[in-house]
Amino acid sequence: MSWSYRKSLGSGPFRINFSKSGITYSVGVKGARVNIGPRGTYVNLSSHGISYRQKISGPNHSPTQQPASQQFLPATYEAVHQIASADIGQLSDTDSKAFISELTQKAGMISYTKWFGTFPLIVFLFIMAFTSFSSRTVIIQPATDSVFAKVTFYTGVNIRKTASAKSSILKAATTDQRFQLLDSTDAKWLKIAYSDSAGYIARRFVAIEHQHYDQTNREETFLSNPYAGYELAGGLLFFLILIPQLRKSDKQRFAMQLHYEMDEQFKQVYQQFSNHFATLSRSARVWQYLNARQTNDYKRTGGADKLINRVPLKSISPNQSPLPYFTTNVAIPCLRLSKLEFYFLPERLLVKNGSTFAAVFYKNLKIEGYPTRFIEDENVPHDADIIGQTWRYVNKQGGPDRRFNNNRQLPICSYSEYTITSDTGIYEVITTSKQGAMDPFASFLGQIGSLQRKMSIA
């Protein structure tokens, strides 16, 4: 049974109230008073049976009260915001169109080595394999019918040297023992195979059994074309001569040289280009954002207000050529995204999608980086900075929601997020687990872009 206690003392507009919950103070007149106590400060107004009570300060201990933003709103998810560049045909800036036209033209040509050398060689080998060999059935054991003499006498029987009870005994046979029958023409004695010779058993002590053995076969492959060796050698010799000639022709057709003349001072500056990219490649994890959407379902998202769909970058290479037979005197760092490939030349970004290219000078490229908080539900990279913890399912106070089973704790990591954009339509977002992993590289590209704008490089 609960109990209550209340006592009030006062004089004029002031009053002190003693109750089970503590001491409160109030001031005012009938119908309008201000109460001050351990639960906070409240304004009370009442008139003609209608009352109004409003809390204006103090702690909030009500377990059922919700923040205004969560009080009556159902869980909602905004439409998915796709993070992707425009069609690659629109990405090139005006200054790069001639360069891109040549690259795209060469990328669209067929390879003579592939279609007239490698592919026919594979077809030739398959034809040789299917026409030079055949299979046949070999009989390992033919079908046979064997006859045995089985000892049926319960005490056994003696095997004698000749068909006579007075003949010498070779061996004593036991019950159910079987011997191959050699001759059964004698009315009293059966000739059986014994060891490497023969013996005789009295007919009345044995029973004759017949057993059939099926034929045993084996499939084997054999060389059916006696000239296969000569044909194979001649074909391989033909392709050994043809393929190098085709490769030489492809090299002339696809060859594209990009030579950069640098003095010693610029070579030292460009060395920083590779060093800064190496800093990015040393990040334990690098992701690409595919899409994002806002949500107010904080309870089921660990308190996150944005849901991110991300994938790891396919590869990060310090030097990779965008095309076969594409030669240059500098290293070309490369980032392979889900659909695009980024090649960082000294003066511009080269973008590849399949056999189509686009290019943007660094003066027209913008890379913005900033730290971002990410609730990590995968393995935490070793170079990540954990700045807090949350729960997979959270309650209104930010603690674990006990209504969900297996509600595990999730780390909050501080990553670096980089947005790569251009006026032509490049729009990609990547994130590094190592804080500031791309900062030096992005800053260096920005400095090149600033220099290009000052010098009006085209």
At 4-63, the pLDDT tens digits run 445 566 666 667 776 656 667 676 666 667 676 766 666 665 555 555 555 555 555 443
Whether 317 and 234 share a structural domain = no
Rg for the chain, CA atoms, rounded: 46
361 and 449 fall within a common domain: yes
Tell me if 180 is assigned to some domain.
yes
Mean pLDDT of 290-318: 85
Q: Is 404 in the same domain as 268?
A: yes
Residue 409, domain member (yes or no): yes
The domain in which residue 202 lies consists of 144-213
Sign of CA dihedral 130, 133, 135, 136: positive
Whether 65 is covered by a domain: the verdict is no
Same domain, 152 and 270: no
pLDDT of residue 63: 39
Question: 204 in a domain, yes or no?
Answer: yes
**pLDDT value of residue 406:** 82
Establish if 420 belongs to a structural domain. Answer: yes
What is the structure's pLDDT at 283?
95
Identify the CATH number of the domain in which residue 191 sits: 2.30.30.40
Number of separate domains in the chain: 4
Query: From CA 173, how far away is CA 171, in angstroms rounded?
Result: 6
**165 and 206: one domain?**
yes
Give me the chain's average pLDDT, please: 83
The secondary structure of 297-313 as a DSSP string is -GGGTTT-SEEEEEEE-
- Predicted confidence at residue 66, as pLDDT, reads 37
The pLDDT tens digits for 154-188 are 888 999 999 998 899 888 999 999 998 999 889 89
In a domain, 351, yes or no: yes
Whether residue 64 is contained in a domain is answered as: no
Percentage above 90 pLDDT, the chain: 41
* Domain co-membership, 326 together with 349: yes
Lowest mean pLDDT among 222-236, 345-359, 443-457: 443-457
Are 180 and 309 in a shared domain? Answer: no
H helix and E strand count, the chain: 6, 29
- Same domain? 33 vs 171: no
The helix (H) or strand (E) run that includes residue 125 is helix 119-132
- What's the CA gap between 94 and 99, in Å, rounded? 10
Considering only residues 116 and 34, tell me which one the structure prediction assigns the higher pLDDT: 116
Cα–Cα dist 348/344, whole Å: 6
Q: pLDDT higher for 27 or 261?
A: 261
Same domain, 430 and 294: yes
More confident call, 218 vs 7: 218
Q: Are residues 286 and 342 in the same domain?
A: yes
Q: What is the pLDDT of residue 441?
A: 94
Residue 69 binned pLDDT confidence (cut-offs 50, 70, 90): very low
- The count of other CB atoms within 10 Å of the CB of residue 442 is 21
Would 447 be classed as within a structural domain? Answer: yes
Domain boundary among the residues 213, 234, 269 is at: 213
How confident is residue 77, by pLDDT bands cut at 50, 70 and 90?
low
Q: Average pLDDT of 335-355?
A: 93
Asked if pLDDT for residue 286 goes beyond 60, the answer is: yes
C-alpha count within 13 angstroms, C-beta hemisphere, residue 103: 24
Question: pLDDT value at position 2?
Answer: 42
Are 132 and 164 found together in one domain?
no
286 lies in the same domain as 400: yes
Which range, of 25-39, 248-262, 420-434, averages the lowest pLDDT?
Answer: 25-39
Choice between 12 and 347, residue whose per-residue pLDDT is larger: 347
Q: Which residue would you say has higher pLDDT here, 9 or 336?
A: 336
Averaged over 322-328, what is the pLDDT?
Answer: 88
Mean pLDDT confidence for 61-85? 53
